[in-house]
């Protein structure tokens, strides 16, 4: 199995030196991520396409996992899954095509399309007609339809090689991750900041995460799920840091010492000040927020200008002109909406009559009442965690870890909490056990309706989602929840 990778078009128009740099980074990212799935993978090619060779021993399930991973690597416009052969004569090409796709064409209409690059003594249309005729004679019940075929047979001829394409998939687009300076994204757990972080990753920017805790352990746990999901699916080629800042004391002071109409603007300024200090520790170029024009009162242009003036570091807002529904739609497409849908709303301050046009001198007067040591102390107490370590964080303290189920208890029910797309890709097998699908975003709402006389074991591959969801169930009073032992399950 071979994957032929096409680059994001904006890469192709770059200068030679920039293009070489981006190609080198993209190959490195692909190699790093795919070798975790299939160590024997090789990545080659240059200039306009890359070739990912999985070898002849690659199984269909491994190839499917690699294909899924390629859709989530920034810098890839699209790619094809193909079988590669040396370019032979027409008879050889026809025989190879019949063997590769003939079984899928039985009883269907089809059309052959050929793409060529290089110098050849034949035209693409000549090869299309010859292979199409061979398929028509060989495959029972098949018929040619040049306009609306049920099956499209695609051949790509590249110089002296033939590729029989079995599938074409869209990539993430954008620039390879790591080709731009890093940033720090202020993440709250809502749709906006999550989509903003994803958009920066898509432009080749590594994003650290800064979380201001306003809602306690449950809030932090939920935001960690989102940050880990974003990094694991779209940015795992580069290590970043998750920073949790205890901000309850700062919020309390704002509530007691700042005029009601200016609370929102002052809170955002305090967050930016703290984030600016943390960003300096992370050596990042800019701060990123999920704000959009006029979405809430603090996001008018006048207020945003006042908010930004408290720091010199650049503040980027990739969603600045997007409407809320478009943001939610994009959150669903990248898989974070299912987290944000169940995330409780933790609002630091709610003003009855918030100002939409804050004046700098009035805001400065309000901030004179605040104790700067509180903000400084919050940044000193911030917890810095390499995001890859979030997968293991809950296991550091055994008191905060779900106990494993007893493999001898055949009456236990295994809850598969993976995302539906992961479940479709690999079926969970647990001989002797009843397996039930309950994606992580439905656990808190659907679990109470289950038969509570049973014992339930939560499963996900790395144990992150299962631990976080299970701990929340335990906090809610459900004692019949345990972690699924790795010894009883396998993904097929």
**How would you classify the pairing of strands 207-213 and 241-246?**
parallel
Asked if residues 444 and 455 have their Cβ atoms less than 8 Å apart, the reply is no
**25 closest CA partner among 219, 174, 175, 158:** 175
Q: How far apart are CA 222 and CA 255, in angstroms?
A: 25
Q: Which residues sit opposite 209 in a β-bridge?
A: 185, 242
Asked if residues 308 and 300 have their Cβ atoms less than 8 Å apart, the reply is no
Cβ neighbour number for residue 490 with a 10 Å cutoff: 12
Burial of 426 (0-12, 13-18, 19+ CB in 10 A): middle
Q: Is the dihedral of CA 145, 146, 149, 153 positive or negative?
A: positive
The SS3 of residue 403 is coil
Given the residues 58, 310, 347, 460, select the one marked as catalytic: 460
The answer on whether 187 is annotated among ligand-binding residues is yes
Active-site annotation holds for 484: no
The answer on whether 268 is annotated among ligand-binding residues is yes
235 DSSP 8-state letter: I
Asked if residues 285 and 182 have their Cβ atoms less than 8 Å apart, the reply is yes
Q: How far apart are CA 470 and CA 479, in angstroms?
A: 10
The answer on whether 307 is annotated among ligand-binding residues is no
Q: How far apart are CA 194 and CA 241, in angstroms?
A: 15
Q: How far apart are CA 61 and CA 65, in angstroms?
A: 6
Task: Please report, for residues 31, 171, 244, the alpha-carbon distance to residue 234 in angstroms, rounded to integers and kept in the order given.
Answer: 15, 11, 21
Strand (E) or helix (H) holding 458: strand 456-459
Write phi, then psi, for 205 (nearest 5 degrees). -105, 120
Place of tokens 């989509």: 195
Q: How far apart are CA 356 and CA 380, in angstroms?
A: 32
Residues noted as catalytic: 460
Q: Which residues are annotated as a binding site?
A: 186-187, 268, 290, 299
Q: Which residues are annotated as a binding site for ATP?
A: 186-187, 268, 290, 299
């Amino acid at each position: 199995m071979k994957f032929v990778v096409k680059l994001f078009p904006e890469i192709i128009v770059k200068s030679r030196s920039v293009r070489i740099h981006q190609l080198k980074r993209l190959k490195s990212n692909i190699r790093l991520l795919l070798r975790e799935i299939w160590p024997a993978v090789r990545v080659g090619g240059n200039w306009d396409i890359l070739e990912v060779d999985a070898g002849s021993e690659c199984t269909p399930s491994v190839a499917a996992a690699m294909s899924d991973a390629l859709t989530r690597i920034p810098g890839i416009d699209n790619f094809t899954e193909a079988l590669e052969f040396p370019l032979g004569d027409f008879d050889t090409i026809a025989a190879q095509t019949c063997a590769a796709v003939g079984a899928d064409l039985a009883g269907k209409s089809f059309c052959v399309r050929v793409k060529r690059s290089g110098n050849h003594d034949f035209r693409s249309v000549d090869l299309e007609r010859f292979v199409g005729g061979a398929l028509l004679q060989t495959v029972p019940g098949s018929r040619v339809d040049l306009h609306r075929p049920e099956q499209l047979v695609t051949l790509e001829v590249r110089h002296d090689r033939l590729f029989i394409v079995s599938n074409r998939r869209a990539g993430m687009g954008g620039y390879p991750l790591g080709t731009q300076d890093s940033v720090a994204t202020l993440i709250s757990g809502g749709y906006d900041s999550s989509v903003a972080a994803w958009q920066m990753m898509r432009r080749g920017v590594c994003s650290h995460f800064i979380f201001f805790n306003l809602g306690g352990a449950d809030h932090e746990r939920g935001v960690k799920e989102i940050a880990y999901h974003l990094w694991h699916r779209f940015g795992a080629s580069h290590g970043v840091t998750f920073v949790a800042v205890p901000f309850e004391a700062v919020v309390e002071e704002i509530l007691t010492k700042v005029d009601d109409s200016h609370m929102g603007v002052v809170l955002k300024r305090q967050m930016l000040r703290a984030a600016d200090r943390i960003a300096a520790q992370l050596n990042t170029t800019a701060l990123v927020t999920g704000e959009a024009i006029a979405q809430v009162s603090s996001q008018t242009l006048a207020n945003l200008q006042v908010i930004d003036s408290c720091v010199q570091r650049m503040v980027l807002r990739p969603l600045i002109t997007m409407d809320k529904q478009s943001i939610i739609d994009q959150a669903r497409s990248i898989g974070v909406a299912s987290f944000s849908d169940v995330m409780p709303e933790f609002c630091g301050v709610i003003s009855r009559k918030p100002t939409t046009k804050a004046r700098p001198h009035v805001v400065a007067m309000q901030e004179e009442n605040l104790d700067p040591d509180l903000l400084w102390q919050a940044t000193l107490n911030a917890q810095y965690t390499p995001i890859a370590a979030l997968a293991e964080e809950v296991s550091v303290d055994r008191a905060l870890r779900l106990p494993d189920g007893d493999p001898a208890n055949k009456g236990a029910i295994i809850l598969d909490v993976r995302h539906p797309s992961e479940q479709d890709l690999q079926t969970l097998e647990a001989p002797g056990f009843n397996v039930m699908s309950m994606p992580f975003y439905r656990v808190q709402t659907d679990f109470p309706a289950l038969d509570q006389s049973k014992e339930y074991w939560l499963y996900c591959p790395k144990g992150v989602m299962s631990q976080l969801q299970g701990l929340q169930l335990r906090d809610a009073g459900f004692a019949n929840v345990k972690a699924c032992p790795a010894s009883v399950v396998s993904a097929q």
